[in-house]
Amino acid sequence: MYDRRGYSGFGTFLLGGLFGAVLALIFAPRTGKETREMLAERANEYWGQAGDLYSTGVGKVNETIDTGTTTAGEKSEQLRAKIDEARTRLQDQVAKSAQAAKDKVVDATPVVKGAVDKAAEGTKTGVDFAAGKAAEGLDFVAKKAATEAAEAAAEQVAEAPAPASAAPAAAAKASAGKAAKE
């Protein structure tokens, strides 16, 4: 716990433990040589335990790394296999869809060709009909123009002063009549 001044009880505990250890060494019933030898043995013993603990830790870390590497490799292979499987399925679906579309085009071709042939025949019939009507219209206009030209010529002949001989007037009327008939 912290008191108001910011000191912790744990720090005080450690300081007390260190102070107690120093006092124990000073007031120990052994001689300094014996105490040093005992401390050296204990230090060597703890050093050996620390080395063993370090070796064990390094072995466990290496084992964990090896296990993690193996597991990652296995998972990577599994994922790669799943991706390859999905790619194969997708390629199969694309091929099936392409074949289905091709089959539909092949099936629709005769129907479309029939519709195009029917439309072409209808267009040809329409063009032939329009050509016939245009020819009839042109014939009508030509006859009407010939009739009007003949009538105009007849009027001019009728209004013209009579020539010395009546033969040329009769010839003009006859040629106007022939033009109107054509």
Please tell me the distance from the alpha carbon of residue 68 to that of residue 154, in angstroms, as a whole number.
Answer: 121
Report the mean per-residue pLDDT for the chain: 82
In percent, the amount of the chain with pLDDT more than 90 equals: 34
Query: Which amino acid type is present at position 157?
Result: V
- Higher confidence at residue 180 or residue 120? 120
pLDDT of residue 85: 94
Length of the chain, please? 182
Highest mean pLDDT of the ranges 9-23, 104-118, 166-180: 104-118
Please tell me the distance from the alpha carbon of residue 15 to that of residue 154, in angstroms, as a whole number.
Answer: 151
Average pLDDT over residues 142-166: 78
Average pLDDT over residues 62-87: 93
**Residue 92, φ and ψ in degrees, nearest 5:** -65, -45
pLDDT of residue 66: 93
- Secondary structure (3-state) at 5: coil
pLDDT of residue 72: 92
